[in-house]
């Protein structure tokens, strides 16, 4: 049963793209689409990725941290971000099947890189927000475990977060983890509910919107060259993704949900949005992780979230391809 609590009013949304490079924290659970989004962001001249932080989700916490370290080390971007390690004590739901393979990266088998002097993800996020108050956009591509822990550790930090873009939830489509929940919210429903209810500027990029952007096999012909570092990562991972999608779901095209969420942060003009009153179910046997929107005419819930309800799919794909070409040229 969904128990309502009073939801705080929203604050005025800040611009996502100032004239100077936008400071980003990418919180992710790599994950093939996480890895693609990470490749795009690290070489986007419009962005300064100050930190990348791991969360358990697509893979266990230790594997997520190893994947993140290996990806950053192999890509070797011009600006090295801080890296946060996923906390192994989080209790998360798992999905019945995975498009990502046992290691999360389609069997990419990158060299493992030790994390020297590293900190857990929530500490890295907290320190970066404190160092750059109201300047940082957090792009959350996995379960919201880390974001929730930061807000619990220091509730006042919410007003110092520039904005939060969340890949998660589904308000109109069926879920991809259960009939009503997307994987990110299903994986840690309590964290999702906590973060959605927080008084900070946030945007939800739900499953029905990210699913509008479909990639066919032509994508493989437009990836960075095989001898570039980006190409060496992207080509085998995405080849695996197409094969897994066909074998597991019988589909020829693939969806890159996290990539669409990153584009929502960098190119918000490509998306249609509405402000909604939202909450997340945490306790239902059949509905844990379900995003609940109050659309009643006489609703009593306060609007608290921007929901992206549609996108220019062609424009999003074009931005993704241009970003990947840039990554290939640099590497």
Query: What is the DSSP-derived secondary structure letter of residue 50?
Result: E
Report how far apart the first and last C-alpha atoms of the chain are (Å, whole number): 51
What is the torsional sign of CA 308, 212, 321, 227? positive
User: In a 3-state reduction of DSSP, which class is residue 206?
Assistant: coil
Q: Residue 157, SS3?
A: helix
Write the DSSP symbol of residue 52. Answer: E
Q: Which of 157, 145, 83 has the alpha carbon at shortest distance from 119?
A: 83
144/136 Cα distance (integer angstroms): 17
Tell me the C-alpha distance between 35 and 125, whole Å.
19
CB contact set of 219 (below 8 Å; sequence gap of 6+): 238, 254, 321
Q: Just list the catalytic residues.
A: 257
CA dihedral of residues 63, 266, 170, 310 (deg, nearest 10): -150
Residue 91 tokens read as 């209790």
Give phi and psi for 282, each to the nearest 5.
-120, -25
């Amino acid at each position: 049963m969904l128990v309502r609590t009073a939801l705080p009013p929203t604050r005025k949304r800040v611009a996502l793209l100032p004239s100077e490079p936008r400071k980003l924290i990418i919180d992710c659970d790599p994950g093939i689409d996480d890895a693609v989004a990470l490749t795009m962001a690290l070489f986007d001249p419009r962005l300064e990725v100050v930190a990348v932080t791991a969360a358990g989700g697509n893979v266990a916490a230790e594997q997520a941290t190893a994947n993140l370290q290996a990806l950053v080390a192999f890509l070797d971007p011009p600006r090295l971000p801080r890296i946060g390690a996923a906390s192994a004590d989080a209790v998360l739901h798992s999905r019945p099947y995975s498009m990502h393979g046992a290691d999360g990266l389609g069997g990419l088998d990158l060299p493992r890189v030790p994390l020297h002097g590293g900190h857990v993800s929530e500490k890295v996020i907290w320190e970066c927000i404190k160092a750059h108050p109201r300047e940082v956009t957090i792009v959350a591509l996995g379960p919201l475990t880390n974001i929730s822990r930061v807000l619990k550790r220091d509730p006042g930090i919410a007003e110092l977060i520039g904005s939060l873009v969340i890949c998660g939830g589904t308000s109109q489509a069926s879920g991809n983890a259960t009939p009503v929940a997307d994987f990110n919210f299903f994986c840690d429903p309590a964290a999702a509910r906590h973060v959605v209810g927080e008084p900070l500027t946030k945007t939800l990029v739900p499953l029905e919107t990210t699913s509008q952007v479909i990639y066919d096999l032509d994508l493989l012909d437009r990836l960075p060259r095989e001898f570039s570092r980006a190409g060496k990562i992207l080509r085998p991972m995405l080849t695996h993704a197409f094969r897994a999608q066909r074998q597991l779901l019988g589909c020829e095209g693939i969806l890159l949900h996290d990539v669409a969420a990153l584009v929502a942060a960098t190119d918000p003009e490509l998306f249609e949005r509405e402000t909604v009153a939202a909450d997340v179910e945490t306790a239902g046997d059949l509905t844990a992780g379900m995003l609940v929107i109050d659309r009643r005419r006489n609703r009593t819930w306060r609007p608290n979230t921007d929901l992206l309800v549609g996108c220019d799919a062609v424009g999003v794909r074009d931005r993704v391809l241009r970003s990947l070409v840039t990554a290939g040229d640099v590497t």
